[in-house]
Amino acid sequence: MMQHWGDVPFITKELSMDNRVSRTNKDEVMNALLKDINESIPYLYEDPVHNQTIVSQDLANALVGLIHLEQKDYNGAASYFSKIIDETYTISFENSIYSDINNKEAVFTLLFPEDGNYCNQ
């Protein structure tokens, strides 16, 4: 959203009818995301987990790298992306991204249920 619209509402406390939600500076949101993700990294799986919904340090490093790119901090982005590049990801030679559930090329995958949606309806 921030890439398209810039400043966005960033809610960090419980909302009530008295709260007015306004736009938050894009840099403030990015810095809060960086802080939260960096604090979570030690608690995530260290080794790449090629499983459908497991969040690993590699995914967190990819997100931090993307945030640094958005902030035009290219050296910071490179340092986080190099942590991923140096891992054990390999090129998948499958003809379809859908045929290999535990694809060794993907940093994170989310499989959709067979019925096509996540709704309770």
Q: Express each pLDDT in 68-105 by its tens digit.
A: 999 999 999 999 999 888 766 777 776 665 666 666 77
Note whether residue 56 is domain-resident: yes
Note whether residue 65 is domain-resident: yes
pTM of full prediction above 0.95: no
Contacts 24+ apart (CB under 8 A), 56-62: 56/107, 56/108, 57/83, 58/83, 58/84, 58/87, 58/107, 59/107, 59/108, 62/107, 62/108
pLDDT digits (tens, 9 = 90+) for 20-41: 788 888 889 899 999 999 999 9
Domain membership of residue 70 as a residue range: 2-9+23-85
Query: How far is residue 57's CA from residue 44's CA, in Å, rounded to a whole number?
Result: 5
Q: What is the pLDDT of residue 31?
A: 92
Q: What is the pLDDT of residue 74?
A: 97
User: Of how many residues is the chain composed?
Assistant: 121
Q: Look at residue 50 and tell me whether its pLDDT is greater than 70.
A: no
Note whether residue 107 is domain-resident: no
Query: How far is residue 114's CA from residue 111's CA, in Å, rounded to a whole number?
Result: 9
Q: How confident is the model at residue 62 (pLDDT cuts 50, 70, 90)?
A: very high
Q: Which whole number is the average pLDDT over 35-51?
A: 84
Joined tokens for residue 33: 């995301």
Number of folded domains that form the chain: 1
Q: What is the pLDDT of residue 56?
A: 85
Note whether residue 40 is domain-resident: yes
